[in-house]
Amino acid sequence: MSVGAFLGALGLLIAVEGLVYFAFPGAVRRVFAALLAAPEATFRRIGLGAASLGVVLVIIAATLG
Protein backbone atom coordinates (compact mmCIF):
# COMPACT_ATOMS: atom_id res chain seq x y z
CA MET A 1 0.00 0.00 0.00
CA SER A 2 1.40 3.36 -0.95
CA VAL A 3 1.63 6.33 1.37
CA GLY A 4 -0.84 8.19 -0.83
CA ALA A 5 -3.42 5.43 -0.52
CA PHE A 6 -2.92 5.33 3.24
CA LEU A 7 -3.37 9.09 3.59
CA GLY A 8 -6.43 8.96 1.35
CA ALA A 9 -8.00 6.23 3.48
CA LEU A 10 -7.17 8.11 6.68
CA GLY A 11 -8.64 11.30 5.27
CA LEU A 12 -11.83 9.49 4.27
CA LEU A 13 -12.11 8.00 7.76
CA ILE A 14 -11.74 11.42 9.40
CA ALA A 15 -14.24 13.01 7.00
CA VAL A 16 -16.88 10.34 7.65
CA GLU A 17 -16.38 10.59 11.40
CA GLY A 18 -16.71 14.37 11.22
CA LEU A 19 -19.93 14.05 9.24
CA VAL A 20 -21.38 11.75 11.90
CA TYR A 21 -20.56 14.31 14.63
CA PHE A 22 -22.05 17.09 12.50
CA ALA A 23 -25.24 15.27 11.51
CA PHE A 24 -26.02 13.45 14.77
CA PRO A 25 -24.45 15.31 17.72
CA GLY A 26 -27.13 14.19 20.19
CA ALA A 27 -26.75 10.53 19.28
CA VAL A 28 -22.97 10.78 19.55
CA ARG A 29 -23.29 12.27 23.05
CA ARG A 30 -25.63 9.44 24.10
CA VAL A 31 -23.25 6.81 22.76
CA PHE A 32 -20.30 8.42 24.57
CA ALA A 33 -22.30 8.59 27.80
CA ALA A 34 -23.20 4.90 27.48
CA LEU A 35 -19.57 4.01 26.82
CA LEU A 36 -18.41 5.94 29.87
CA ALA A 37 -20.82 3.93 32.02
CA ALA A 38 -19.71 0.61 30.50
CA PRO A 39 -17.19 -1.64 32.24
CA GLU A 40 -13.59 -1.85 31.04
CA ALA A 41 -14.15 -5.31 29.57
CA THR A 42 -16.70 -3.82 27.18
CA PHE A 43 -14.12 -1.30 25.94
CA ARG A 44 -11.66 -4.13 25.38
CA ARG A 45 -14.20 -6.17 23.37
CA ILE A 46 -15.12 -3.13 21.25
CA GLY A 47 -11.45 -2.32 20.66
CA LEU A 48 -10.59 -5.90 19.73
CA GLY A 49 -13.58 -6.08 17.38
CA ALA A 50 -12.68 -2.78 15.69
CA ALA A 51 -9.03 -3.76 15.32
CA SER A 52 -9.97 -7.17 13.91
CA LEU A 53 -12.38 -5.64 11.42
CA GLY A 54 -9.72 -3.16 10.36
CA VAL A 55 -7.17 -5.90 9.75
CA VAL A 56 -9.67 -7.91 7.73
CA LEU A 57 -10.53 -4.87 5.61
CA VAL A 58 -6.84 -4.14 4.97
CA ILE A 59 -6.27 -7.76 3.91
CA ILE A 60 -9.29 -7.63 1.58
CA ALA A 61 -8.11 -4.32 0.10
CA ALA A 62 -4.61 -5.70 -0.44
CA THR A 63 -6.01 -8.81 -2.11
CA LEU A 64 -8.28 -6.81 -4.43
CA GLY A 65 -5.72 -4.12 -5.22
- Averaged over 3-19, what is the pLDDT? 91
Q: What is the pLDDT of residue 2?
A: 82
- Domains of the chain, by residue range, sit at 3-64
pLDDT tens-digit readout, 12-49: 999 999 999 999 999 999 999 998 999 999 989 999 99
Q: Three-class SS string for the chain?
A: CCHHHHHHHHHHHHHHHHHHHHHCHHHHHHHHHHHHHCCHHHHHHHHHHHHHHHHHHHHHHHHHC
CA gap 65, 60 in Å, rounded: 8
| Higher local confidence (pLDDT), 20 or 62 | 20
Is the pLDDT at 6 greater than 70? The verdict is yes
Asked whether residue 62 carries a pLDDT value surpassing 90, the answer given is no
Whether the model clears a pTM of 0.95, i.e. scores above it, the answer is no
Cα–Cα distance for residue pair 3/62, rounded to 1 Å: 14
